[in-house]
């Protein structure tokens, strides 16, 4: 029910939150030797989710007629990639604070936009219910 109201934005919110977490952990580990910065391939993650959404579900593979049917769940982890550093550092750390900060800012803005979309959906439904 909730999915049909908010559409892709509900999924987008989850991916944004996850990406925020990954970027925050990159920034927290900016001084950890050998830490490798990671990021979520948002486009790929969302495309997979929207494909799933369009088809309504991604059926689980079954090899026998007696297997129960179910939906396979894609995980955001499946879209985690390592970042290529532009200037490698001596201690093997690949976090570049300016890039991570810019990405975090961008992600926060997109997160806000997603919240805005969901909010206007709610306003629309509320308006329809009130009959205004």
Partner 1 sequence: MSLFKVLDISGTGMHAQTVRLNTIASNMANVDSVSSNKDETYRSKQPVFQTILEGNMNEPAMGVRVKEIVESQAPLKMEYNPNHPMANEEGYIFRPNVDINEEMANMLSASRSYETNIEVMNTSKQLLLRTIQLGK
* Binding stretches for partner 1 (CB under 8 A): 17-18, 20-25, 27-33, 35, 38, 40, 76-77, 80, 97, 101, 104-105, 108, 111-112, 115, 118-119, 122-123, 126
Q: Which is nearer to partner 1, 29 or 42 (CB)?
A: 29
* Structural tokens at position 10: 């509900």
Smallest gap from residue 101 Cβ to partner 1 (A): 7
What secondary structure does DSSP assign to 49-117, as a single string? HHHHHHSS--BPP-SSTTSPP-B----GGGGEEEPPPSS--TTS----HHHHHHHHHHHHHHHHHHHHH
Q: Which is nearer to partner 1, 58 or 118 (CB)?
A: 118
Smallest gap from residue 132 Cβ to partner 1 (A): 16
Smallest gap from residue 34 Cβ to partner 1 (A): 9
Q: Which is nearer to partner 1, 68 or 129 (CB)?
A: 129
> CA 70 to CA 58: how far, in whole Å?
8
Closest CA to 82 of 97, 98, 95: 95
């Amino acid at each position: 029910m909730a999915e049909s109201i908010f559409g892709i934005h509900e999924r987008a919110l989850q991916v944004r939150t996850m990406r925020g977490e990954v970027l925050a952990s990159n920034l927290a580990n900016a001084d950890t030797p050998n830490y490798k910065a990671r990021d979520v391939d948002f486009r790929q993650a969302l495309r997979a989710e929207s494909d799933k959404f369009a088809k309504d579900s991604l059926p689980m593979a079954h090899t026998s007629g007696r297997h129960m049917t179910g939906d396979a769940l894609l995980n955001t982890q499946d879209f985690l990639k390592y970042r290529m550093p532009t200037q490698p550092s001596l201690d093997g750390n690949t976090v570049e604070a300016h890039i991570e900060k810019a990405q975090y800012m961008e992600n926060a803005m997109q997160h806000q936009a997603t919240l805005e979309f969901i909010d206007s959906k709610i306003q629309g439904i509320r308006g329809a219910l009130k009959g205004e």
